[in-house]
């Protein structure tokens, strides 16, 4: 059985990510022994959004072009409104998410990040949750939306908002420790 302390987890984000939804999972997963890397469309750093204004920047470890899916055990997608809205129109980001899904890797999306799961074709027929404002988008994509802290379907984890981060991270750890997930197309 895989262990979280030997795993490598990738966070994909861009400017406008919800500060807490990137930083808290990053810190909590590292504290549990995982190696955590941040990928973005461009190198350098990306700036978060914190409540009503720009937040802190985080260093980007690699660009989307440099990601090798086989090197990672899980993918984490922070929300906020701007971050997933920008990434869902980025062909490389969507292709990368689809590659993680197709490989049976754990994929975790919080808040508005399930928009990215819609673009990657990973919602249809699955139980999902999200920030309430994108509920209809998920239902229209064929998802079975429920209002819970965290929902998991075949290794795809969704969560609602920053107050759910602890449950979100706990479920990521559990799913990574379970290993590869087979998924219905």
Q: Domain 4-178 belongs to what topology?
A: Rossmann fold (3.40.50)
**Choice among 112, 126, 160, 171 that is catalytic:** 112
pLDDT over threshold 60, residue 113: yes
Residue 111 known to be catalytic: yes
**Residue 174: is its pLDDT beyond 80?**
yes
Nearest one of 3, 170, 153 to 73, comparing CA atoms: 3
Does position 169 have pLDDT exceeding 70, yes or no?
A: yes
CA distances from 37 to 58, 115, 125 (A): 11, 22, 30
Does pLDDT of 185 surpass 50?
no
Does residue 112 carry a catalytic annotation? yes
Choosing from 11, 22, 34, 111, the catalytic residue is: 111
Mean pLDDT across 84-98? 98
pTM: 0.95
Distance, in Å, from the CA atom of 80 to the CA atom of 21, rounded to the nearest integer, reads 8
Question: What pLDDT sits at residue 178?
Answer: 86
Tell me the average pLDDT across 119-132. 98
Task: Give yes or no for residue 1 having a pLDDT over 50.
Answer: no
User: So where are the chain's domains?
Assistant: 4-178
pLDDT of residue 183 exceeding 90, the answer is no
């Amino acid at each position: 059985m895989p262990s979280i302390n030997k795993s490598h987890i990738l966070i994909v984000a861009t400017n406008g990510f919800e500060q807490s939804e990137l930083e808290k999972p990053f810190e909590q997963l590292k504290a549990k022994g995982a190696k955590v890397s941040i990928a973005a469309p461009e190198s350098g750093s990306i700036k978060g959004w914190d409540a009503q204004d720009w937040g802190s920047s985080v260093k980007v470890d690699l660009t989307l072009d440099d990601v090798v899916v086989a090197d990672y055990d899980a993918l984490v997608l922070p929300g906020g409104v701007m971050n997933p809205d920008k990434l869902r129109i980025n062909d490389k980001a969507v292709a990368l998410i689809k590659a993680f899904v197709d490989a049976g890797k754990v994929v975790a999306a919080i808040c508005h990040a399930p928009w990215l799961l819609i673009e990657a074709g990973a919602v249809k027929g699955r139980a999902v949750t999200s920030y309430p404002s994108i509920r209809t988008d998920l239902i229209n994509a064929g998802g079975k939306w429920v209002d819970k802290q965290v929902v998991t379907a075949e290794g795809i984890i969704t969560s609602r908002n920053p107050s759910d981060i602890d449950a979100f991270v706990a479920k990521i750890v559990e799913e990574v420790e379970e290993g590869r997930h087979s998924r219905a197309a």
